[in-house]
């Protein structure tokens, strides 16, 4: 009958065909419709199928579309599904894509989501990934973000982690950075902290270093401060003295520097000079 109708020119398009078949009660469900049109060779690709079924009002939402296509075996993998949905303009943004995939139960975990997005080329950089995950509410805290990125192999070193966090605006100050690194167990000692902070350009001067360490409670006494500075070799106090000699420690430039920059930790200049002399053997 189908061939006959086509032969005499009564129908010319798939829309006409589908409408006629529905009218005379030949098909009742989308599954029957898709199977029929495939049988007579009217549709050959998923793109054609989606466009046609939308045109005649057989499907109305992406959820219906995905469920139907899966039912009749037109799609087998999420990759094919995403590529097809993009082709026919059903999804336009990663946010839409993620929401849809979650709605129809295609993805269940962030790991699956990231792997899929990478597979179909929806994300290319960690920045895009983080922004998108935040947009759709998949991550809420930096801790979750770091754990996830590490889980799916997106970051491998602390330097990469810090650089990325800075790039996407997740951290803005060294205080935030240090607190976060400590929270997720990335740093354990002050030495590690200072070295890392220097590596990513978060601190540049001793003044910044001391102020920051005091702010986050990493140093409490001048002795600790001097010992730490020696360990990580941030600066040499000798640059504030006229010569590399022990008696330079009593000079006015050194006393002024220590008194002003270290502040309340250095109330008494004489004991301070002795402490510095004992700590800095190069003098």
End-to-end Cα distance, the chain: 104
Buried b (16+ CB within 10 A) or exposed e, 168-192: bebbeebeebbebbeebebbeebee
pLDDT of residue 254: 42
Write out 123-148 in H/E/C secondary structure: CCCHHHHHHHHHHCCCCCCHHHHHHH
pLDDT digits (tens, 9 = 90+) for 100-149: 555 555 555 555 655 655 555 555 555 555 565 555 555 555 556 666 55
Ranges of the chain whose pLDDT falls below 70: 1-283
pLDDT of residue 270: 41
Cβ proximity of 97 and 62 under 8 Å: no
Q: What is the DSSP string of 149-205?
A: HHHTTS--SHHHHHHHHHHTTS--SHHHHHHHHHHTTS--SHHHHHHHHHHTTS--S
What does pTM read for this prediction?
A: 0.23
pLDDT of residue 17: 57
Number of alpha helices (DSSP H) and beta strands (DSSP E) in the chain: 17, 0
Domain residue limits, the chain: 1-109, 198-283
Cβ proximity of 8 and 46 under 8 Å: no
pLDDT of residue 60: 47
pLDDT of residue 261: 40
Fill in the DSSP letter of residue 248: G
Fill in the DSSP letter of residue 29: S
pLDDT of residue 10: 42
Distance CA 178, CA 3 (A): 74
Cβ proximity of 42 and 20 under 8 Å: no
């Amino acid at each position: 009958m189908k061939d006959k109708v086509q032969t005499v020119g009564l129908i010319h398009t798939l829309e006409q065909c589908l409408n006629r078949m529905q009218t005379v009660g030949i098909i009742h469900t989308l599954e029957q419709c898709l199977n029929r049109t495939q049988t007579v060779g009217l549709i050959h690709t998923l793109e054609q199928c989606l466009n046609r079924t939308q045109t005649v009002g057989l499907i109305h939402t992406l959820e219906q579309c995905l469920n139907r296509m899966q039912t009749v075996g037109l799609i087998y993998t999420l990759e094919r599904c995403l590529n097809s949905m993009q082709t026919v303009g059903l999804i336009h943004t990663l946010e839409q894509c993620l929401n849809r995939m979650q709605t129809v139960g295609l993805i269940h975990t962030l790991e699956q989501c990231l792997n899929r997005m990478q597979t179909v080329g929806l994300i290319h950089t960690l920045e895009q990934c983080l922004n998108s995950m935040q947009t759709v509410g998949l991550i809420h805290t930096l801790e979750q973000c770091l754990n996830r990125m590490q889980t799916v192999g997106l970051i491998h070193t602390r330097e990469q982690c810090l650089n990325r966090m800075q790039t996407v605006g997740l951290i803005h100050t060294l205080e935030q950075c240090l607190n976060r690194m400590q929270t997720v167990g990335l740093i354990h000692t002050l030495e590690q902290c200072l070295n890392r902070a220097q590596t990513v350009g978060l601190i540049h001067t001793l003044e910044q270093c001391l102020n920051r360490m005091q702010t986050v409670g990493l140093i409490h006494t001048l002795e600790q401060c001097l010992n730490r500075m020696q360990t990580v070799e941030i600066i040499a106090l000798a640059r504030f003295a006229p010569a590399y000699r022990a008696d330079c420690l009593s000079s006015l430039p050194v006393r002024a520097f220590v008194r002003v920059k270290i502040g309340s930790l250095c109330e008494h200049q004489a004991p301070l000079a002795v402490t510095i002399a004992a700590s800095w053997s190069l003098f």
